[in-house]
Amino acid sequence: MTTRAPAPPPAEAVFPALGTTAVLLVTGPKALPAAEAVLRAELAAVDRACSRFRPDSELTRVNRNAGDPTTVSERFAEALQAALRAARLTDGAVDPTVGRAMTALGYDRTFAALRPEDTRPLPPAPAVPGWRRIVFDPRLRRLLLPPHTQLDLGATAKALTADRAARHAAAATGCGVLVSLGGDLAVAGPAPDGGWRIALADDHARPATDDGPAVAVTGGALATSGVRVRTWRRAGRTLHHIVDPATGEPAAPVWRTVTVAAATCVDANTASTAAIVLGGRAVDWLRGTALPARLVDLDGRVVCLGGWPSDSAATRGATLGDPR
């Protein structure tokens, strides 16, 4: 009788990117340099195209030209179409035209550069123009924004980057790949035995405890959105980065975190962000999507939907398959 040698543990690279932490895991240790090169190239491309904080980014140019037609690059067009699809699927709960509202709240620079306590008064929340007023011809890549509109593609663009990087790194190396960008996580290629073990926590940057809830992911993606980590204070108020397009203000805090599994990270992020915005309506809305989801309210009460394992089962590392 022959026994198979245990597979080596995944190789890992961790580095700062896009104002958060990038984590790359590969099942073949020798493939790590090639996979990391793919990930870094994807991160550089999305930063050049979609950063709100770079004066030389394509997004900055597009926002500056609001009111006039402009032609955009293929990468920008892909990110814009992902954002418009998210808006359509959520009936505007996730809307890329919240850029001016974000700036008014003080989120006009990288999160690391924000003042933790800003005493300046808050201006009135500007009206959010709404995604339906965007005119875009995907064949010509011709875009017309309403005057004075500022796009913010941050959430969906980051999730799209996780999807692209995982898929392209797996194709380049032939091994299993996991890419995590903050709360956005995508896997591609053959998963390790037992799947990728993902610990669940409010803050992705803090080490999770071994006895805390975790799921094993064999395919697809997870995304977590929350209101506790990316916060700052302005004029005596605690603010967070998920804006309700209906008000131009941070979404009323109902859920501490929402984690959703989907076939792509873009879809998972779309649903988790929408749930934060929808607040008390999120449970019924998520049930309608049939996506596995875990919601944690402000008191720590956990709600599991769509086949997401209970925390008692998740503590044992319950498997969450590819939700296609």
3-class DSSP string for 118-141 = ECCCCCCCCCCCCHHHCEEECCCC
- Structure-derived torsion over alpha carbons of residues 223, 228, 231, 234, reported in degrees to the nearest 10: 140
Q: Is residue 218 included in any domain, yes or no?
A: yes
Q: Is residue 4 included in any domain, yes or no?
A: no
Report the C-alpha gap between 158 and 125 in whole angstroms: 25
Radius of gyration of the chain (CA): 20
Q: Is residue 1 included in any domain, yes or no?
A: no
Q: Is residue 6 included in any domain, yes or no?
A: no
Q: And the tokens for 139?
A: 């064949």
* pLDDT tens-digit series, residues 148-198: 999 999 889 999 999 999 999 999 999 999 999 998 999 999 999 999 999
Domain count, the chain: 1
Percent of the chain with pLDDT over 70: 89
Q: Is residue 210 included in any domain, yes or no?
A: yes
* pLDDT tens-digit series, residues 16-64: 999 899 999 999 999 999 999 999 999 999 999 999 999 999 999 999 9
Other CB atoms within 10 Å distance of the CB of residue 220: 23
Question: In this structure, what CATH number is given to the domain that contains residue 41?
Answer: 3.10.520.10
177, 182, 180: which is closest to 166 by C-alpha? 177
Residues 6+ apart with CB under 8 A from 276: 225, 226, 227, 242, 251, 254, 255, 258, 282
**Structure confidence at residue 230 (pLDDT):** 74
Phi first, then psi: what are they for 186, rounded to 5°?
-135, 145
Q: Is residue 3 included in any domain, yes or no?
A: no
- What is the residue type of 113? A
* pLDDT tens-digit series, residues 251-278: 999 999 999 999 999 999 999 999 999 9
Q: Is residue 180 included in any domain, yes or no?
A: yes
Tokens 């008692």: give the residue: 312
C-alpha distances out from residue 208 to 199, 203, 257, 306, Å: 6, 9, 15, 24
Rounded mean pLDDT of 135-155? 96
**Structure confidence at residue 193 (pLDDT):** 93
Domain that holds residue 47: 11-320
Helix (H, G, I), strand (E, B) or coil at 318: strand
Q: Is residue 2 included in any domain, yes or no?
A: no
